[in-house]
Amino acid sequence: MAERPGAITFQGNPLTLLGDDIGVGAKAPDFEALDTGLAPVRLSSFAGKVVVLSSVPSLDTPVCDMETRRFNDEAGKLGDGVVILTVSMDLPFAQKRWCGAAGVNHVKTLSDHRDASFGMNFGVLIKELRLLARAVFVVDQGGMVRYKELVKELTHEPDYDAVLEAVKKCMGK
* 14 domain residue, yes or no: no
DSSP symbol at 165:
H
Q: How many domains does the chain have?
A: 1
Confidence band of 155 (pLDDT split at 50, 70, 90) = very high
DSSP 86-118: EEESS-HHHHHHHHHHHT--SSEEEE-TTT-HH
* 15 domain residue, yes or no: no
Confidence band of 76 (pLDDT split at 50, 70, 90) = confident
Residue 1's pLDDT is 79
* 19 domain residue, yes or no: no
Catalytic residue among 7, 51, 64, 120: 64
pLDDT tens string 96-153: 999 999 999 999 999 999 999 999 999 999 999 999 999 999 999 999 999 999 999 9
b vs e for 16-48, b when ≥16 Cβ sit within 10 Å of the residue's Cβ? Answer: ebbbeebeeeeebbebbbbbbeeeebebeebee
What mean pLDDT is predicted for residues 88-94? 97
Give the domain CATH number at 87: 3.40.30.10
Q: Determine how many CB atoms are found less than 10 A away from the CB of residue 9.
A: 15
Residue 25's pLDDT is 97
Domain that holds residue 139: 3-9+25-170
* 17 domain residue, yes or no: no
* 126 domain residue, yes or no: yes
Strand ranges (DSSP E) for the chain?
3-10, 13-18, 32-34, 40-42, 50-55, 82-88, 108-111, 125-126, 131-132, 135-139, 145-150
Q: Is 99 a catalytic residue?
A: no
Residues 83, 52: Cα–Cα separation, whole Å? 6
